[in-house]
Structure 1
Amino acid sequence: MTARELDGGRFVRQANRFTGTITADGEGGYPAEPGRYRLFVSLACPWAHRTLIVRRLLGLEEAIPVAVVDPIRDERGWRFPEPDPVTGATFLSELYLASDPGYEGRYTVPCVWDTVTGRLVTNDFPAITIMMGDAFAAFRSPGAPDLYPAELREEIDELNGLVYTTVNNGVYKAGFATSQDAYEEAVEALFATLGRLEERLASRRYLFGDRLTEADVRLYPTLARFDAVYHGHFKCNLRRLADHPNLWGYARDLYAIPAFGETTDFDQIKRHYYVTQRDINPSGVVPRGPLLDWTAPHGRNRVGGSGDHRS
């Protein structure tokens, strides 16, 4: 199954092939050791963006080194601007095939490479951020937030499930739909959930009150790309993010936190989607807009607590 496989005109995302787990005690063969693992990301990719946010929030920059691929991808997959100094790879595909010579899927980011065994541990993007918080707990900065607190995990998982299905992946379902019915179905579900989130954030600074959680980390990358890419390129144009006062203020509030704002690269985001996805944008022309002020006052400090997160 490829990332563009369709079912009745509906977009189907490929399953994650590598699902190894790094643990604090090394059970399963992958112990959490600072510097041992290499995180491969694209600044354009929303799934990879999550991992950069969590890495920064938890202060794991030295414990988990990162390598960034070029935002423009072709039929050979993600390319490194220069050969990766640790693995020597020029294309991410080399690491996938070194781990599984028979691999036939798309070469996706984020993924985690083990420098000891010389193979990929995981490209299971929903699990990577949770694993970073749990397995690398001993290496987190003092005062780092607990993004996945035990008492909220069930509620966080439930909200994340809805957001993934209708928002994070929902924009792709709309953008890559090849039938009107599939497109309408995806867009309606997307904006229904955005409406629910708009209401939720009317009385809460973050999705779970005055504390950042994994749920905020997972929603933000889609919001950051919404008006810049998804509204036009993916035809998610019933309303802009900026037309949702609470969501737009919430997104700017998160952007003001360095872990979110300083990992958001609008140039790479726009160039990746508009130049790479020629089936949707054959010309490869990158639009100049939208012109949005992400640094404008958001006023969210008056909603549900102070939420002071400087990382």
Structure 2
Amino acid sequence: MGLLVDGVWRDKWYDTASTGGKFKRSEAKFRNWITANGAAGPSGIGGFTPDSGRYHLYVSHACPWAHRTLIFRHLKELTDHISVSVVHPDMLGDGWTFETDDHGATGDKLYGLPFARDIYLKADPQISGRVTVPILWDKERETIVSNESSEIIRMFNSAFDGLTGNTDDYWPEELRDAIAPVNDRIYDTVNNGVYKAGFATTQEAYDAAITPLFETLDWLEGRLAGNRYLMGDRLTEADWRLFTTLVRFDPVYHGHFKCNRKRLVDHPHLWAYTRELYQTPGVAETVNFAHIIRHYHYSHETINPHRIVPIGPDLDFTEPHGRG
């Protein structure tokens, strides 16, 4: 995991020495929006209209943030309108690469470039920052629309409705005030919390991350004891934002990131809820456990210096979930 500095690649891990051992995630650099009429969104510039075939999504099957966008691409019937390239699961000195010697890694379907950083440099030759996925690319203007997953899924949620006729709404206006604090807590203590625990380099930083993580998992377990979904009977973006972390919890976060007070399967309501979401038509096809297990254990040399890829737990996400 390196970064670009003024357009030059540096093979450099996160600097936890300056943060007391704490992992701090960098903010997304590209924050434009596709809107129904092409007007500027909450951030960035305008001119990005919802045209079929105009946009391309770069993802990693291992990455939970990128996984969100693949799920919404499917749920909102955008698979015929937005094309996809998948990076290789191994993220080593060159960061995400477009090597194709692994099942599911497609190479760069647009330009045949070797590295994900080349997509960033194509958008801005002098860019500085981490090279992350997902990347939503505009083929017409040859630039990055967004690399912020939470905003990409909201674009997919509504911007293309006139094109697809799919008006399913996972960010309903009447529930936004209720969804926002749930999203915030889940992001801070679960989605990002597993990384704060796993990438911590001091005991104090680990302790500060691990306790809120399991407090929130217990809170979610209780919430789902009386509700089918996080917002009651309605499936929303909050559920899908949580799902991509939960589906990775036992295979990688529990052991690799030392999140081992409990497993997902030790939370009966969360485990059944995760199976229900996994069994939503088309969602299982967006989950690639081979990439997930390989990426985390092989790529993180600071955590697993010998790059031993464990066999992983025997989980059945297809067993009846009993919810609903």
For the aligned pair, the TM-score class normalised by the smaller chain equals over 0.9
Letter of the 1:290 counterpart:
P
Could you tell me whether the CA contact under 8 Å between 1:58 and 1:141 is conserved in 2? Answer: no
Letter of the 1:22 counterpart:
I
In 1, Cα distance between the equivalents of 2:234 and 2:15?
A: 38
Could you tell me whether the CA contact under 8 Å between 1:145 and 1:212 is conserved in 2? Answer: no
Q: Does residue 114 of the first structure (1) align with residue 133 of the second (2)?
A: no
Which residue of structure 2 lines up, in the alignment, with residue 8 of structure 1?
Answer: 20
Task: Report the TM-score, using the length of structure 2 for normalisation.
Answer: 0.89
In 2, Cα distance between the equivalents of 1:238 and 1:297?
A: 26
2:145 is paired with a residue whose SS is: strand
In 1, Cα distance between the equivalents of 2:64 and 2:165?
A: 24
How many aligned positions are there? Answer: 300
2:296 is paired with a residue whose SS is: helix
CA drift of 1:141 comes to: 4.9
Report the CA distance shift for 1:83/1:266 in structure 2 as closer, same or farther (over 3 A).
Answer: closer
In 1, Cα distance between the equivalents of 2:85 and 2:199?
A: 28
Post-superposition CA distance 1:176-226 (Å, at most 9, x none): 111111101100000000011000000111111222100011000100000
Aligned partner (choices 239, 244, 258) of residue 235 of structure 1: 258
Which residue of structure 1 lines up, in the alignment, with residue 212 of structure 2?
Answer: 189
In 1, Cα distance between the equivalents of 2:262 and 2:286?
A: 25
Could you tell me whether the CA contact under 8 Å between 1:18 and 1:120 is conserved in 2? Answer: yes
Give runs of aligned pairs for residues 152-167 of structure 1, distance below 5 A: 152-167=175-190
Which residue of structure 2 lines up, in the alignment, with residue 266 of structure 1?
Answer: 289
Give runs of aligned pairs for residues 75-90 of structure 1, distance below 5 A: 75-80=93-98, 81=100, 83-90=107-114
CA drift of 1:4 comes to: 2.2
Q: Does residue 132 of the first structure (1) align with residue 156 of the second (2)?
A: yes
CA drift of 1:104 comes to: 2.7
Could you tell me whether the CA contact under 8 Å between 1:23 and 1:135 is conserved in 2? Answer: yes
Could you tell me whether the CA contact under 8 Å between 1:133 and 1:147 is conserved in 2? Answer: yes
Which residue of structure 1 lines up, in the alignment, with residue 35 of structure 2?
Answer: 23
Q: How many percent identity over aligned positions?
A: 51
Over aligned residue pairs, what C-alpha RMSD do you find?
1.5
2:23 is paired with a residue whose SS is: strand
Which residue of structure 1 lines up, in the alignment, with residue 10 of structure 2?
Answer: none
In 2, Cα distance between the equivalents of 1:102 and 1:75?
A: 20
Q: Does residue 41 of the first structure (1) align with residue 59 of the second (2)?
A: yes
CA drift of 1:5 comes to: 3.3
2:283 is paired with a residue whose SS is: helix
Report the CA distance shift for 1:235/1:258 in structure 2 as closer, same or farther (over 3 A).
Answer: same
Could you tell me whether the CA contact under 8 Å between 1:44 and 1:269 is conserved in 2? Answer: yes
Q: Does residue 249 of the first structure (1) align with residue 272 of the second (2)?
A: yes
Letter of the 1:62 counterpart:
D
In 2, Cα distance between the equivalents of 1:259 and 1:217?
A: 13
Structure 2: give runs of 5+ residues left out of the alignment. 4-12, 40-45, 101-105
In 1, Cα distance between the equivalents of 2:197 and 2:232?
A: 30
Report the CA distance shift for 1:141/1:5 in structure 2 as closer, same or farther (over 3 A).
Answer: farther
Which residue of structure 1 lines up, in the alignment, with residue 197 of structure 2?
Answer: 174
Aligned partner (choices 229, 250, 256) of residue 206 of structure 1: 229
Aligned partner (choices 95, 98, 118) of residue 122 of structure 2: 98
In 1, Cα distance between the equivalents of 2:73 and 2:164?
A: 9
Letter of the 2:111 counterpart:
T
Which residue of structure 2 lines up, in the alignment, with residue 74 of structure 1?
Answer: 92
Structure 1 stretches of at least 4 aligned residues deviating more than 4 Å after TM superposition = none
In 1, Cα distance between the equivalents of 2:221 and 2:276?
A: 14
Q: Does residue 294 of the first structure (1) align with residue 304 of the second (2)?
A: no
Could you tell me whether the CA contact under 8 Å between 1:5 and 1:13 is conserved in 2? Answer: no
Letter of the 2:299 counterpart:
T
CA drift of 1:83 comes to: 4.6
Letter of the 2:108 counterpart:
D
Report the CA distance shift for 1:56/1:129 in structure 2 as closer, same or farther (over 3 A).
Answer: same
- Greater shift after overlay, 84-93 or 123-132? 84-93
Letter of the 1:50 counterpart:
R
In 1, Cα distance between the equivalents of 2:178 and 2:15?
A: 31
Could you tell me whether the CA contact under 8 Å between 2:157 and 2:168 is conserved in 1? Answer: no
In 2, Cα distance between the equivalents of 1:139 and 1:259?
A: 20
1:259 is paired with a residue whose SS is: coil
Post-superposition CA distance 1:41-83 (Å, at most 9, x none): 1111000000011111111111211111111112212112265
Letter of the 1:56 counterpart:
H
